[in-house]
Amino acid sequence: MDQILLSLMIFVPLLGMVVVFLLPNDREELIKRVALAFTLIPLVLAVYLFIDYNKSSAETQYFVSVPWIDTFHINYHVGIDGLSVTLLLLTALLGPICVLASWRNIEKGLKAYMALFLLLETGMLGFFASLDLFLFFVFFELTLLPMYFLIGVWGGPRREYAAIKFFLYTLFGSVLMLVAIIAVYLRSNIINDVAEGLRTFDIPELIQRATVEGHALGDSKFQMWVFLGFFIGFAVKVPIFPFHTWLPDAHVEAPTAISVILAGVLLKMGTYGFVRINMAMFPEGLDYFTNGDGFLGHSLALLGFINIVYGSFCALAQTDFKKLVAYSSIGHMGFVILGLAARNAEGINGAVLQMFNHGVISAMLFLLVGVLYDRAHHREINGFGGLGNRMPIYTGITTLAFMASLGLPGLSGFIGEALSLFGAFQEFPLLTILSTIGIVVGAAYFLWTLQRVFLGALNPKYEELPEINRREILTLVPLGILTIVLGIWPNIAIDMFSKSVTNLVNIVSI
Amino acid sequence: MVVPLISIILLAPLAAFTIFALFGLAKRSFPRQDILSTAAMLVALGCSLYLLNETSDPKPLTVEWLSLGSITLSMGFYLDSVTVIMLIVVTLVSSLVHIFSIGYMHGDPRYPRFFAFLSLFSFSMLFLVVSDNLLGIYIGWELVGLCSYLLIGFWFEKDSAANACKKAFLTTRVGDVGMFIGMMMLFKQFDTLSLYGTDGIFEAVRTLEAGQIAWLSAAGILIFCGAVGKSAQVPLHTWLPDAMEGPTPVSALIHAATMVAAGVYLVARMFPILTPSSSLVIAYVGGITAIVAATIAIVRFDIKRVLAYSTVSQLGFMMLALGAGSYVAGLFHLTTHAFFKALLFLGSGSVIHAFHAMHAHHDEEHADDNEDEHDNHSLVHEHGSEIPPDQDMRNMGGLRRKMPFTFFTMLIATLSISGVPFVFSGFWSKDAILGGVLERAMGWNSVHHYILFGVVLLAAGITAFYMFRLIFMTFFGEPRNQEMHDMAHESPWVMVVPLLILAALSLPVVNKWWFKEGYINKPYQAHVHEPTHAQLRPDSKTGDTNFGFSNFGISEAEAAEEEGGHDTEHADDAHHGHGPAHTIAMVLSIIVAGLGILLSWLFYHKRRFTAESVATTFRPVYTLFWNKYYFDEFYNGVLVALTVWKSRLFAKFDLSIIDGIVNGVATITRAIFAAFIGFFDNRVIDGIVNRVAKVIWSVGGRVRRIQTGAIQTYLFVVLGGIVLIILIFRVL
Amino acid sequence: MSLQHYLVISSILFTLGIFAVLTRKNAISILMGIELILNSCNLNFVAFSRFVEPAKNIVGRDDYLLDGQIIAIFGIVLAAAEAAVFLAIILAIYREFGSIRPDEVDTLKG
Amino acid sequence: MDFTLKTFIFYGFALLTIGSALAVVTLRNIVHTAFALMVTLFGVAGLYVFLQADFLAATQVIVYVGGILVLILFGVMMTSGRLEMRIHIERGQLLLGAGISIALLMLLLTVIANMPVWKNLTDDGRSLEPTTEQIGTMILQEKFLLPFEVVSVLLLVALIGAALISRKEVRD
Amino acid sequence: MEPLKNIESLAYIIPEIVLVVFAVAVIIFDLFVKDNESDWVAYLSLIGIGCSLIAIFITNSLVDINKPISLFLGMIRLDGFAIFFKILLLLATAATILFSLRSEELDVRLKGEYHTLLLAVTFGMFLMASSTNLLMIFISLETVSLTSYILAGFLTHSPRSSEAAFKYITYGAVASGTMLFGLSLLFGMAGTGDITQISSQIATVLESGDVSALGVLIAITFILAGIGYKIASVPFHMWSPDVYEGAPIPITAFLSVASKAAGFALFLRFFYTGFDTPEIIQSIDWRLLLAIVSALTMTVGNLAALPQRNVKRLLAYSSIAHGGYLLMGAALLTPEGLGAIIFYLIVYLFMNLGAFYVVVLIANESGSEMIEGYRGLSSRAPYVAGAMAIFLFSLTGIPPFAGFFGKWLLFNAVISEDLYWLAFIGLLNSVVSLYYYARIIKAMYLESAEDTDIFSFSKSTFALLGVFVVPTILIGFLNIFYSLSKKITLP
């Protein structure tokens, strides 16, 4: 029974998609309710898994492995470890929240919207759970299509451009990844230039084989190239400078719920993949880019640094509320990269925690932007002013989210960021110190925004602006609670994955 | 017993805030938030007082907060005499401010919120105080920053308030980042952020070798950066005067008594890791701050700004004391300053409250002004030069008869801060600082400390001058603005009672009953181990052991004996060091205080000289003071402009640089394809993807153009292709 | 008269056929060029069948490679069929476009 | 190389073939080219005779000259009001066509001249038995049966198709 | 393995015979049925195809897939490879007939001829897939070509169609003439027409020096012109966009799938049996030649597709590009490459035919083949739009659709030969291809039409659509197709 839970969680939204499809077009309330129900089931299951997960073990749990495409040794292999269970919970949590956030503001094609959203959720859940490289890739790509339509059909005025840009960028990254996957597969049974045994796509198996003496997968030159292939694939998703330019466009045009998913989960797919594949499977390759000599030696940390500083400064320059949040995401993902580049327990734990926290916080931020947009129908920061007077609760929650995002201690954003920096400082002191610029600038743009939107005299245009309603509060409260709880007691999350991370640290510290 | 007490101290205000937040989410508000918050603070105060005698176990609680495999970060409480005194100061001032606010904030539309924020602040401050590790301190540190932000911007409809709160947060955050880097350095070295105990940093720092001193100095200075920000030391002091945009009780609590003193507290806590060079940096920063702020205060007319600069200046005194190694003096001054400065602020609040009607009127006017400026947004604003009329001392005068209690209590505080000898606590603490610095100078024969002593002495004199200037302008003479004067009235009892209590606390006699002698004696572990910094110094004495509360009328000998019980060696050192130094310092300080008061009397009461004539005579100096040494202009003009410019540049980067590269690549591509196919169109194209897409697109167009529709062209391609294939593969 | 003689002749014919299809501005001339090409092929086959030693194990006659001639016969038949269809299409083109200039039949392009 | 009558006639045929083929590709008058093509086809038939492919030579004359060429002439007549069609040929096209053709010819000649397996295969002058019967046997009884049947299908299709395409459509 | 004699062979070519019989039967039947409106001719053809399919399965049971049988004294060969292609071709033909039933551009009066020609061309393709003799190769190719010319020009009242036929036949005649010349050279070098023997013969020839290699290269390149034009590989692809655009849509679909598949069958058999010995590869690097051709083919196809506004033409270019992808596998001359092609062809059959079917439907309803006609399709015909989106995404190669799995196999094969550059070009092309496929999707989903009438389609239309959609989604997930692709080999 336990074995089936994970698969159930992955495929329930898919079933939901079919069910939604079968509903009549005009029963909109019903469609919404059904979609909500089908996103709540994975949430329940994810919570169950989260609680039931044996934290004291670093082993993969709940794994299921059944042959799928025998000819190519592809298995349906899913399982969770501390890392994936955390992100699964995040994904499952954001599912119903996004459905709720789409309750009123989807004006056309609600049915298709919900169906696509459910498909998207299956893709995301499957991605985080899959332990077969091929399956992993299929789920990775599976998120692409619904995302394209969700941005392209239900997005803002420049949605076509944003959607195709998103699609092309991601596809570009993923085809490079595909080459790398195939290369890994083809070498998976070669030891000392002799083929032994069967090829495999199985991730744990590949990780294990890469450590075998003389295995073709362990070759450092090979690892470097394959690392690069995967890296670019994931870098587009994260996004890492200079592959980031799709993100602001996609975010700005996407409907609120989709921005939430995009920032909350999709970006994490990049970093998760990086941890799961690049770090665990290719420690030599990682070594080349984090510890090597010369120009590329610190390139990964450098990219993290660039992301932080670049994202922060770009955010500072924005006048579009949503674009600002989007750029802030770029900055915050930089901390993740920096932490991962450090390759030590603090850095990686911090990075993983930051992944989760950023998922929660950026989701809040986008929801908040959406709330404001639904009311004022624009997002120009300078066009507001003094809303604090008119919408005190909204202002309060926004302040909480901003403070969490700018890394205020006591809220969850801080711990991940701090641990990442602590870890990174041990390896790259100078870059880390420079990266702290991001902290100041982060505070600057959030406070400035807070001032321009909420403080000062009330803009007379918005004297009648209604306060945030209960449904919207309902979407924000769980995230807010998580932000506070994890800020106060981060061990809840870190406990889940610290064993897995320790494992990882052992692999990468060669 | 200790742990639950501390927990109550922390949780009571937190609970008050949480209740507010929960009600807020439900779109309601708790009926009597003011009572709730005040009660919470009183409970905390009671518990703090109980803790006075409970310092036997310094580490009552440690819990594992984060475990990352091999590394564990823990959180916990640390309770020693310093902690307890800070707890009492915070809870006491906070309680009084709460009570005062019940009157002062009465009628404000966001009345409950004010109390909730005060509660949150109190929680954060108390958390900072009791934390036993740097991470906890940092958390509390940032949280008080947040509360400061929220409270400065409490009247956020005013643009000046909105700007001030942002400025405060950002400026302190700059310092915090320094502190954070310092923490990272310590963490890298020691793998822990705990300060105390066998695995703490203070223990580990003793094992450092001589070669690592420079590194440790750097870490110490970086940690001190945090204090520079929070305690408004030069060069990050500019936020504090602007922070006066917040309600006056907030200024009293946060920006006079507690939060700004947190920096001093932090430096005192980190005492064991300070090396001589980092100490010297701290001392200089403190000294410069003391004199710079004092000189600026002379020329202010806004009553709150005078007090604000005075606060900055006094914080400089404390930093100087710590930097000079006068640990106890620094903390002593922190305590006394907390009371009399809170009193001064609350008193000024009472005065402002007296003009409350005008205040409301003014608000409307102000809001109108803002309309015009609404579009003119920039990252940092400077609104300091405009003085609200109800805070302008030039509108006051002769209030002593209208507001006797306010006048009386403020006078006590002014006497205290000015260092009028013997009956006022400020005299003792300031004297301890002066003595400590002079003693260090004499003991080490250090030029640095002589200079610092001179500076601080001058600053003390100026302090007396501008404080009495305030008193004379506000309470003496004839009313300058009759309309406002007529409206003024004594404040209600909820505001007066806290003033009286604080006035009492400005007298050493009152303090005596709860401070035991030598209660604060030395930095952590100083009496158990040789402190690190002591090892590293030319001579090993801490020098300040006998001063402080022992001077509240108790003989020095007794105090020395008390000390000697702990550490005879130090007591001996102390004895031969302090005698002459402190005597000289005391005499000098009395003289400069007297001079300051006298000058002030001559200028502002007797009108022997007019400030204007002096200002004209020393025009450049005056201008410098008036413009606050141009710090804000510098920041605005250079740093902020630079930042904004950089961010704009980065935003353009996408458009210009990346595109530039792409355009370059495209040009090459174009050249190649042009050779084969023809010419490419020459349009300017924006966006990396667009560019690539367009290149591909036009190649597509080119490829397409071969498809002329004429069949013989196709045949040419076929046969030409055949020839080419053969040639390429065989002949060439 | 060696094999090479014939091959040279057929090569020239082939090349001329190619030249014709590339340059003639009349669909029927192009057809003629194609016929030249096919003739050259047939000539090749016949020449090979006359001179070239058959490969071993070939099914059928092994002293004489008659296959070439038979292929040439099939070639002629195919040429005829192709010519018929080609001409039919030329007629259709003439009907629709009023011209059989190949470069005037270019509505489909790009 | 002995210059016999046979060789003389051979070269005659060769020149006739190539010369008329040249005429096919160069003459501007479409009818003239058609006649030149006829000469070429005759020439090839003559070469078949030299190669002792008697049946094939006959077929060539009958099918090509008798069938295809007539067809072509019909085509010429049906598509052109006047018999003479003077069409200007672009110089560039001409040059490029010539270039490609010459390049191809050079390549082919290089191979033909130097290919070891094709060297020294001269006509030994021995006369072979008539091929007609053998061809008949091979087509109908041996391995060329299948192609034969397939070609019959092909011809059927060509028949249907040619009729279909060329018949004048009665428009509505 | 001794080739079977003529009479003995007959039992094995029953599927072909059935096709010919039905082809003749159809035209005769047409003579007697005067009712032009009825679809009986089409149904009869479908029955023919069904019979042929059954016959294939029967003969299949006679043959051990691993033991190919040579028929008609070595003229053709019956093996798993041939059977696979025959089934594939029959499916494509059946689909084409079904499309034609829906298509409104075909002249109802010419149904008999139309279906006869379709059956005949299928017959020719059968032979293409199984020929092992130079003559058979040429004859089967010509059969297919000639019939295709006629089918392309089938719309006698449409100038576009006539033009297509004209271009097709001119191009095809030159290409096949060139090929025949190449075949003659090969024949002259090898002394035999049997391609199973050619490789050893050619190897001997090649021993004699460089010039021989040039000779072989010329011969093969000339032959490549003939085969390459069938599969529309660069530089022999140029006819295809024009012809695809001008021909009736069902025929375009047929040409782009069946004709291409048959071309690949011929190509694979020719190169795998004739030219994959190490000696030959050593002297002339076919793999490199073909790899370059394949890279060029997909690049040209994709780039030229970018600016197209006519969906039919766009799909024509796209099918050129897909020919390029398939050629990647062919260039490898490895079993993996072969398996990948087999699998990809199955996938391609469904997704490409599906896409063309949608084109047929839209052309019927809106009378337009232009991309503008697809605007707002998501609201006018949501299911058709959804199906089209699936086909297009599958053509792009995006999971979870079958096209991705097909591409994956191809790239897998390419990378296993360490041809990373080719894989990269292929993948970058996939990215580029997204751009133009997405334009159709964009028009369908992101743009709205001026005209917002709802298109109505019959149930059978949806059923047929489903026949293409379901495999496009499912094939990648079913192991059977992978093992099938692995089972089919060439000697």
- Phi/psi for B262 (5° steps) reads -60, -35
Say whether pTM exceeds 0.90. Answer: no
Which domain does E477 fall in, by range?
A: 286-491
- Between CA C37 and CA C43 the distance in angstroms is 10
Q: Among A190-194, A350-354, B398-402, B478-482, whose mean pLDDT is lowest? A: B478-482
Number of domains in chain E: 1
Q: Is the peptide bond before A242 cis (omega within 30 degrees of 0)?
A: yes
Q: Chain D residues with CB inside 8 Å of E72's CB?
A: 143, 145-146
In eight-state DSSP terms, residue A215 is B
In a domain, E380, yes or no: yes
Whole-number Å distance between alpha carbons of B399 and A389:
35
Given a cut of 50, whether residue B509 has pLDDT beyond it is yes
**Average pLDDT, stretch A209-217?**
83
Partner-chain residue, chosen from B110, B139, B643, that has the shortest CB–CB distance to A409:
B139
**Phi/psi at B586 (nearest 5 deg)?**
-65, -45
Range 35-54 of C in CB contact (< 8 A) with E: 37-38, 40-41, 44-45, 47-48, 52-54
| CA separation for the pair B252, A167 (Å, rounded) | 57
pLDDT band, very low/low/confident/very high, at B579 (cuts 50, 70, 90)? low
- Which of B27, B63, B66, B121 has the most A C-beta neighbours within 10 Å, making it the best mutation to test the interface with A? B66
| Confidence (pLDDT) at B556 | 37
In this prediction, residue B278 has a pLDDT band, given cuts at 50, 70 and 90, of: confident
Evaluate if residue B571 carries a pLDDT over 50.
Answer: no
Contact E408 A142 (CB under 8 A): no
Q: How confident is the model at residue C56 (pLDDT cuts 50, 70, 90)?
A: low
- Check: CB of residue B132 under 8 Å from CB of residue B76: yes
Q: What is the pLDDT of residue B371?
A: 38
> In this complex, is the C-beta atom of C58 within 8 Å of any C-beta atom belonging to chain D?
no
pLDDT tens-digit map of A27-84: 888 999 999 999 999 999 999 888 888 888 777 888 888 888 887 888 899 988 888 8
Q: What is the pLDDT of residue A126?
A: 92
In Å, how far is E60's CA from the nearest CA of chain D? 20
What is the nearest CA distance from E330 to chain C, expressed in angstroms? 28
Contact E234 B706 (CB under 8 A): no
> Between E235, E293, E306, which is nearest B696 by CB?
E306
How far is it, in rounded angstroms, from Cα E229 to Cα E208?
31
| Residue A75 host element (H or E) | strand A74-80
Instruction: List pLDDT tens digits, range D102-154.
Output: 999 999 998 888 888 888 777 666 666 777 888 888 888 778 889 999 999 99
Mean of the per-residue pLDDT values for chain B?
74
User: Residue E431: its chain A contacts at CB < 8 A?
Assistant: 168, 171-172, 175
Which residues of chain B are within 8 Å of residue A440 when distances are taken between CB atoms?
A: 170, 173-174, 177
Report the C-alpha dihedral over residues E53, E57, E63, E69, rounded to 10 degrees. 0
- D59, D128, D138: residue with CB nearest C76: D59
What per-residue confidence (pLDDT) applies to B543?
A: 38
Query: Could you tell me which chains touch chain B, where touching means 3 or more CB pairs under 8 A?
Result: A, C, D, E
* B residues 700-719 lying closer than 8 A (beta carbon) to D: 712, 716, 719
Q: Does B716 touch chain E (CB under 8 A)?
A: no
In the numeric block, which tokens belong to residue A462? 């918005």
In a domain, E482, yes or no: yes
Instruction: Say yes or no to pLDDT of C75 above 50.
Output: yes
* Cβ within 8 Å of residue E406, ≥6 positions away: E340, E343, E344, E346, E347, E348, E397, E476
E37 close to E101: Cβ distance less than 8 angstroms: no
Instruction: Give domain status of residue E478, yes or no.
Output: yes
Q: Which of residues 115-174 of E touch D (CB under 8 A)?
A: 116-117, 120, 123-124, 127, 135-136, 139-140, 142-143, 146-147, 149-150, 153-154, 156-157, 162, 165
Q: For chain E, which ranges sit under pLDDT 70? A: 1, 34-37, 65-66, 108
Give me the percent of chain A exceeding a pLDDT of 90: 23
Average pLDDT over residues B187-197: 83
Task: Answer whether residue B438 shows pLDDT above 90.
Answer: no
State which residue of chain B sits closest to A432, comparing Cα positions: B181
Does the structure show a pLDDT above 60 at B661? no
CB-closest option in B66, B367, B653 to A494? B66
Query: What pLDDT shows up at residue B512?
Result: 58
Write out the H or E segment, with its range, that includes residue B61: strand B61-68
Q: Which of B706, B711, B720 sits opposite E170 (nearest CB)?
A: B711
Instruction: Tell me how close the Cα of E246 comes to any Cα of chain D, in angstroms.
Output: 15
Burial class from Cβ neighbours inside 10 Å (0-12, 13-18, 19+) for residue B590 reads middle
* Mean pLDDT score, C85-102: 86
Q: Which of A106-120, A424-438, B524-538, E461-475 has the lowest mean pLDDT?
A: B524-538
Q: Please report the pLDDT score of residue B639 as a whole number.
A: 62
Domain ranges of chain C: 3-97
The shortest CB-CB distance from D131 to any of C2, C66, C79 is to C66
Nearest-neighbour CA in chain E from C31: distance (Å):
8
Identify all chain A residues contacting B187, using CB atoms and an 8 Å cutoff: 422, 425
Give me chain A's average pLDDT, please.
Answer: 87
Q: Residue B530 pLDDT more than 60?
A: no
- The residue among A167, A346, A405 with the most chain B CBs within 10 A of its CB, best to mutate, is A346
**Is chain D in touch with chain B: ≥3 Cβ pairs within 8 A?**
yes
Task: Choose the weakest-confidence range: B266-270, B436-440, D31-35.
Answer: B436-440
- CA separation for the pair E404, E325 (Å, rounded): 12
Q: Identify the weakest region by mean pLDDT among A401-405, A494-498, B445-449, E358-362.
A: B445-449
Is a pLDDT exceeding 90 seen at residue B637? Answer: no
From the CB coordinates, do chains B and E have 3 or more pairs under 8 Å?
yes
For residue D44, is pLDDT > 50? yes
**Predicted local confidence at residue B685, as pLDDT:** 26
Set of chain D residues whose Cβ sits within 8 Å of the Cβ of E150: 157, 160-162, 164-165
Q: Does C68 touch chain E (CB under 8 A)?
A: yes
Do chain C and A touch: 3 or more Cβ pairs under 8 angstroms?
A: no
CA distance E317 to E323: 10
Cβ-based contacts of C92 with chain E (< 8 Å): 153, 156, 162, 165-166
Give CA torsion, residues A454, A459, A465, A471, to 10 deg.
Answer: -20
C54 in contact with D, Cβ within 8 Å: no
Chain D within 8 Å of B591 (Cβ-Cβ)? no
Average pLDDT (B229-255) is 84
**Chains A–E, number of C-beta pairs less than 8 Å apart:** 84
pLDDT: which is higher, E62 or A501: A501
Q: Is the Cβ pair E234, B700 closer than 8 Å?
A: no
Cβ of D103 within 8 Å of Cβ of B723? The answer is: yes
* Mean predicted confidence (pLDDT) in A82-100: 91
pLDDT at E113: 86
Our CA angle for B181, B184, B189, nearest 5°, is 135
To test the contact with chain E by mutation, choose from C10, C62, C89 the residue with the greatest count of E C-beta atoms within 10 A, namely C89
Instruction: Establish if E460 belongs to a structural domain.
Output: yes
Three-class secondary structure assignment of B488-552: CCCCCHHHHHHHHHHHHHCCHHHHHCCCCCCCCCCCCCCCCCCCHHHHHCCCCCCCCCCCCHHHC
List the subunits that have 3+ CB pairs under 8 angstroms with C. B, D, E
Q: Is E364 a member of any domain?
A: yes
For the residues A292-313, what does the mean pLDDT come to?
82
- CB contact under 8 Å between C52 and E188, yes or no, is yes
Residue D85 pLDDT grade (very low, low, confident, very high; cuts 50, 70, 90)? low
For residues C13 and A334, give the distance between their C-alpha atoms in angstroms, rounded to a whole number: 71
Query: Residue E126: inside a domain, yes or no?
Result: no
Q: Which residue has the tokens 């994810």?
A: A46
Structure tokens at A48: 């169950």
Mutation test of the interface with chain A: which of E446, E448, E470, E486, choosing the one with the most A Cβ atoms within 10 A?
Answer: E446
Cβ contact B67:A495 at 8 Å: yes
Q: Chain B residues with CB inside 8 Å of C107's CB?
A: 709
Q: Output the pLDDT for position E353.
A: 93
CATH code, C3-97? 1.10.287.3510
